[in-house]
Structure 1
Amino acid sequence: MPTPQGSQLRRGRYSEPGRLYVLTTVTHHRQPLFLDLHHARAAIRFLRQADQDGHCRSLAWVVMPDHVHWLIELKKASLSTLMRYFKARSSHALRKAGVSTVPIRQAGFHDRALRREDDVVMVARYIVANPLRAGLVEKVGRYPHWDAVWV
């Protein structure tokens, strides 16, 4: 079975405004760029900027050392436009901060549309508990790079 590539991840993708999605993007070769506080905060700045610009409403997110999970309600942008916006702006900020890796992120991204029967709060808890499951912290509250609207 072939490994998903960026173009294969786009097949069948549909963007529906008002729909909830879980989005995941990964650094190139899973390099742990976000172990650096300043690099993680640069990514977070553009998660929040996407909200302010009306592309989406962020419900929960976590910036892990080598990837980002983001639960959103899609607004005016398509999924591809939203992710292109986030990845381009955060990558530019990372380059300005001294990250010399080219490219910074893997091509493409993963998305999953939530169904009406999905428990959104449970999905958000699963997302923000990633650092706990990865063994990075013993309590979620001790990990600095996450947020959720329910907190």
Structure 2
Amino acid sequence: MKPARPRAGNQQCQKHVQRFSLTGSQSGQLYRSRETEETSGARRFISRQPNCLHHKCTAGRRKFLACSDVHEILRGIWERSAKHDGWWVGHYILMPDHLHLFARPEIDASPMANWVQMWKSVSSRCVAAISALRPPIWQADYFDRYLRSAESYSEKWQYVADNAVRGGLVSDAEAWPYRGTIHELMF
């Protein structure tokens, strides 16, 4: 059973995220929505662009990501990134000091570096607004890897989804509340 989406307590931060003007493309014609009962409302997309696995760490490996306020901030930004930047976020997981997410760009999407910089910048301001944390919030560099097959995507997701189990945080990966799927990325 999927946990309920957590709510952030800082309304000022939520307004900032919702008003933030993002540059980027319109939704591309390459994406075909295919909602089914299995996706429970998640949108499924097919594209010729490859999925990309992103791994981002907090600055100083500070352990603050695994909380409902930060989860809501990041999810809210990523939910709007398809419309504003042409980047569709699929599965993601927040660990205490790092995150993994899968995303796929549209043909005319913002460059990956610009998109990553945007969501890191917006989330940094929002996290600082709701906590005692001060910048930098994120490490400057990050790891990304393009995936070219459904098998690779499935294998990588299974591996990162099990992070919370390997870390001793839960006994079942599905029980970890700081994970989700925004769009089902299809091959």
Q: TM-score, normalised by structure 1?
A: 0.78
Q: Could you tell me whether the CA contact under 8 Å between 1:33 and 1:65 is conserved in 2?
A: yes
Aligned residues: 134
Identity of aligned residues (%): 19
Match of 1:130 in 2: 163
Unpaired runs of at least 5, structure 1? 1-16
**Residues 60, 127 of structure 1: 8 Å contact kept:** no
Contact 2:85–2:115 under 8 Å retained in 1: no
1:70 match? 101
- 1:25 equivalent to 2:56? Answer yes
* Alignment partner, residue 43 of structure 2: none
Cα distance change, pair 78–35 in 1 and its aligned pair in 2 (3 A): same
Q: Which moved more, 1:141-150 or 1:23-32?
A: 141-150
What is the CA–CA distance in structure 2 between the aligned matches of 1:133 and 1:48, rounded to whole Å? Answer: 28
The Cα of 1:54 is off from its aligned counterpart by 4.4
Q: Is the 8 A contact 1:128 1:147 kept in 2?
A: no
Once residues 116 and 141 of structure 1 are traced to their aligned partners in structure 2, the CA distance between those partners, rounded to angstroms, is 24
Distance 1:41 1:100 in 2: 17
Measure how far apart 1:117 and its partner are.
7.5
Q: 1:18-60 CA distances to partner (integer Å, 9 max, x unpaired)?
A: 2211111110110001233212322222222223424311221
Q: CA RMSD in A?
A: 2.0
Paired with 2:96 and 2:177, the residues of 1 have a C-alpha distance of: 12
Alignment of 1:98 with 2:139, yes or no, is: no
Instruction: Determine if the alignment matches structure 1 residue 61 to structure 2 residue 87.
Output: no
Name the structure 2 match of 1:14.
Answer: none
Structure 2 CA distance for aligned equivalents of residues 42 and 117 of structure 1:
29
1:129 offset after TM fit, Å? 1.9
Give unmatched runs, 5+ long, in structure 2: 1-47
CA distance in 2 between counterparts of 1:97 and 1:134 reads 26
Query: 2:36 maps to which residue?
Result: none
Partner of 1:107, secondary structure, is coil
Give the Å deviation of 1:118: 4.7
Q: Which has the greater radius of gyration?
A: 2
CA distance in 1, matches of 2:73, 2:150: 34
Closer, same or farther: CA 77–99 of 1 in aligned 2, 3 Å: farther
Q: Do 1:21 and 1:112's aligned partners in 2 also have CA atoms closer than 8 Å?
A: yes
Task: Point out 4+ residue stretches in structure 1 off by more than 4 angstroms.
Answer: none
